[in-house]
C-alpha cells in the first residue's frame, strides 16, 4: 500500500504489524507515529530502530512516490556465505523436474546442523520468492538428511543466486499483497480441475482482503479482476463448452485460404448456439488474408452440416455457390476481437503479402439447456467428468 492511500483513513489512524517481538508501526503523519512510540515506551521496554529498512530478511527501500521496494538480496547472500557458496554456478530452475527424494538413498550426513539451518532460513525467502515454495520437499528429511538432500538444497541456492524473477498472485493496484505457490491437498485428474481449485482459493483470498480493506477504511471503486491462463477452466462456471481452439498462422505469401462456411455446420447443438471468437494477434488486412463475411447471412439459417457417420466424415448437403461480390472484408488491428454468429457465412483468402497474419480462433457453445449433437465430427462424452471425486 502506498502512503497516499492512508489519506482516506480516520485521523489519527495507525497500523501495526507484529511478528513475535518485532513491530512495524505506520500512520498518516510521522509526528503522530512518533507520539505513539513515545507513549508505548513509557508502558513497555522497547527499542526504536527508526525508519523501516530491514525485517524478517527483507530489505525495505522507500521510493520517491511513497511506495516501497522489497528485496532479499542481502539475506540470500548471507545464506550463500553460510553454505560456503558465495560464487556458485547458477541454475535456471530450483529443482529438477520429476526428481524423487528418498529417506533411504544416499549417505547419511554426519552433522545435520547446517542442513537444518539452511532449510529453516529458506522459509523466509519464500515471502517474496514464492517460486521456491516447493522447497518443502527437503523439509521432510530434517531429522536424518542424506547427502542427496543437501545437493538439492545447494541447487535451490544456485537458483536464488542466478535469478531475480518471481513466482496465485493478488495485486492491490500495482502492489503485490498476497500470493501462494504450493502443492494441492488433492490430486486433480486434469489441468482444468487443478486450475479451478486454484481459482477457488484465490477468490477466497480476495474476499478476505476486501473485508480487511473495508475495515481499514479503504474504499474499493472497482470489482476485482481475476485472470486465468486455462480456457477450459474459464468456461466451466460460465456454462459453455470450448470444442475447438485454433492458432491460425498465415505466413507471408504461403497462408492457405478458408472456403465459405458457417461455424454451426461443424459445431452443432440443439438449439444452435455456436459463437466464434476471432482474436487478431497481428493486423489483418485484405492483402494478408483477413476475414470476409456476407452481412446478414446469419438470418437465413444453417445451410448444411458436417457430420461423422459409419462411412467417415462428410457434409449432408452439397456446397452452395456464393457470389464474391456479396462478401465484405473485416480488416482489424492487432488486439481486436471479432465475434461471429454461428450461422454467419465467412471465409478468408490466402496471404499474398510479405507480412504474416496470426490470429487466435475460439468456438464456444452453450451447455445450459442445449444438447451437443452426437453426430458432430468432434465427439464429446454425454456426461462430462465430475470436477471433484467424492
Omega of the bond prior to 12 within 30 degrees of 0, cis?
Answer: yes
Rounded distance, CA 15 to CA 24, Å?
8
Count of beta carbons in the 10 Å neighbourhood of residue 346: 22
Closest CA to 77 of 121, 115, 111, 113: 121
* Phi-psi map region of 284: left, alpha, beta (phi>0 left; psi -120 to 50 alpha): beta
Q: Cis omega (within 30 of 0) on the bond before 271?
A: yes
Cα 291–Cα 254–Cα 286 angle in degrees, nearest 5: 30
pLDDT score recorded for residue 381:
54
Q: What is the pLDDT of residue 1?
A: 34
Q: Where are the domains of the chain?
A: 12-50, 71-162, 167-238, 245-372
Q: Which three cell numbers stand for residue 58?
A: 527483507
Q: Dihedral sign, CA of 289, 294, 295, 296?
A: negative
Burial letters for 198-235: b for 16+ Cβ neighbours within 10 Å, e otherwise? Answer: bbeebeebbeebeeebeeeeeeeeeeeeeeeebebbbb
Q: Residue 240 corresponds to which cell in the numbers above?
A: 459453455
Residue 308 corresponds to which cell in the numbers above?
A: 461423422
Tell me how far apart the alpha carbons of residues 158 and 47 are, in angstroms, rounded to a whole number. 37
Neighbours of 186 (CB within 10 A): 11
Beta-strand pair 14-19/58-62: unpaired
Cell 546442523, located at residue: 113
Which pLDDT score is estimated for 4? 38
* C-alpha to C-alpha distances, 230 to 233, 236, 246, 301, 362, nearest whole angstrom: 5, 10, 14, 32, 13
- Identify the burial level of 174 via C-beta atoms within 10 angstroms of its C-beta, where 0-12 means exposed, 13-18 middle and 19 or more buried: exposed
Across 36-47, b (16+ Cβ under 10 Å) vs e yields eeeeeeeeeeee
- CA-CA distances (angstroms) from residue 72 to 114, 122, 125, 363? 20, 11, 7, 46
Write out the chain's pLDDT in tens, 390 residues: 333 344 444 555 777 778 787 888 877 778 888 888 888 888 888 888 888 888 777 888 777 766 677 777 778 888 888 888 877 777 777 777 666 777 777 788 888 888 888 888 888 787 767 767 766 777 778 788 888 888 888 888 888 776 553 336 777 777 767 766 555 555 445 555 666 666 777 777 888 888 888 887 877 777 777 776 665 555 554 444 555 556 666 677 766 678 899 999 988 988 898 898 888 888 999 988 899 999 999 999 999 999 888 878 888 999 899 998 999 999 999 889 899 999 999 999 888 888 888 888 888 888 777 888 888 887 765 544 544 454
Q: Look-up: residue for cell 454467419? A: 344
Q: How far apart are CA 4 and CA 16, in angstroms?
A: 17
d(CA 231, CA 190) in angstroms, rounded, equals 13
| Grid cell for residue 89 | 554456478
How many Cα atoms are found within 13 Å in the side-chain-facing hemisphere of 38? 6
Global pTM value: 0.42
pLDDT at residue 255 in the model: 61
SS3 call for 227 = coil
What is the C-alpha to C-alpha distance for residues 22 and 49, in angstroms, rounded to an integer?
Answer: 10
* CATH classification for the domain delimited by 245-372, as one of 3.40.50.1820, 3.40.50.620, 2.60.120.620, 3.30.70.370: 2.60.120.620
Amino acid at each position: 500500500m502506498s502512503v497516499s492511500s492512508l489519506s482516506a483513513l480516520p485521523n489519527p489512524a495507525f497500523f501495526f504489524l507484529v511478528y513475535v517481538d518485532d513491530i512495524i508501526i505506520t500512520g498518516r503523519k510521522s509526528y503522530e507515529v512518533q507520539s505513539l512510540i513515545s507513549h508505548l515506551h513509557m508502558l513497555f521496554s522497547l527499542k526504536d530502530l527508526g525508519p523501516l529498512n530491514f525485517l524478517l530478511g527483507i530489505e525495505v527501500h522507500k521510493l520517491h512516490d511513497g511506495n516501497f521496494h522489497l528485496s532479499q538480496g542481502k539475506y540470500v547472500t548471507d545464506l550463500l556465505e553460510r553454505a560456503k557458496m558465495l560464487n556458485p554456478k547458477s541454475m535456471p530452475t530450483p529443482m529438477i523436474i520429476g526428481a524423487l527424494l528418498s529417506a533411504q538413498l544416499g549417505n547419511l550426513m554426519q552433522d545435520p546442523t547446517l542442513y537444518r539451518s539452511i532449510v529453516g532460513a529458506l522459509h523466509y525467502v519464500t515471502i517474496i520468492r514464492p517460486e521456491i515454495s516447493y522447497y518443502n520437499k527437503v523439509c521432510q528429511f530434517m531429522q536424518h538428511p542424506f547427502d542427496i538432500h543437501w545437493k538439492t538444497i545447494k541447487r535451490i541456492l544456485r537458483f536464488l543466486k542466478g535469478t531475480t524473477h518471481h513466482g496465485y498472485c493478488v495485486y492491490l493496484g500495482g502492489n503485490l499483497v498476497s500470493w501462494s505457490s504450493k502443492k494441492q491437498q488433492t490430486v486433480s485428474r486434469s489441468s482444468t480441475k487443478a486450475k479451478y481449485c486454484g481459482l477457488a482459493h484465490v477468490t477466497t483470498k480476495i474476499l478476505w482482503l476486501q473485508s480487511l480493506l473495508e475495515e481499514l477504511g479503504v474504499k474499493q471503486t472497482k470489482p476485482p479482476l481475476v485472470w486465468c491462463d486455462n480456457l477450459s477452466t474459464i468456461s466451466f462456471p460460465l456454462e459453455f463448452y470450448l470444442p475447438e481452439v485454433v492458432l491460425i498462422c498465415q505466413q507471408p505469401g504461403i497462408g492457405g485460404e478458408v472456403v465459405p462456411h458457417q461455424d454451426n455446420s461443424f459445431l452443432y447443438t440443439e438449439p444452435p448456439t455456436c459463437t466464434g471468437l476471432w482474436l487478431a494477434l497481428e493486423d489483418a488486412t485484405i492483402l494478408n488474408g483477413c476475414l470476409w463475411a456476407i452481412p446478414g447471412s446469419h438470418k437465413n439459417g444453417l445451410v448444411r452440416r458436417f457430420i461423422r457417420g459409419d462411412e467417415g466424415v462428410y457434409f449432408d448437403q452439397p456446397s452452395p455457390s456464393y457470389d464474391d461480390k456479396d462478401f465484405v472484408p473485416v480488416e482489424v488491428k492487432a488486439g481486436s476481437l471479432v465475434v461471429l454468429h454461428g450461422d454467419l457465412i465467412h471465409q478468408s483468402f490466402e496471404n499474398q503479402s510479405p507480412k504474416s497474419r496470426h490470429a487466435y480462433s475460439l468456438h464456444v457453445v452453450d451447455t445450459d439447456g442445449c444438447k451437443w449433437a452426437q453426430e458432430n465430427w468432434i465427439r464429446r462424452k454425454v456426461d462430462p467428468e465430475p470436477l471433484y471425486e467424492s
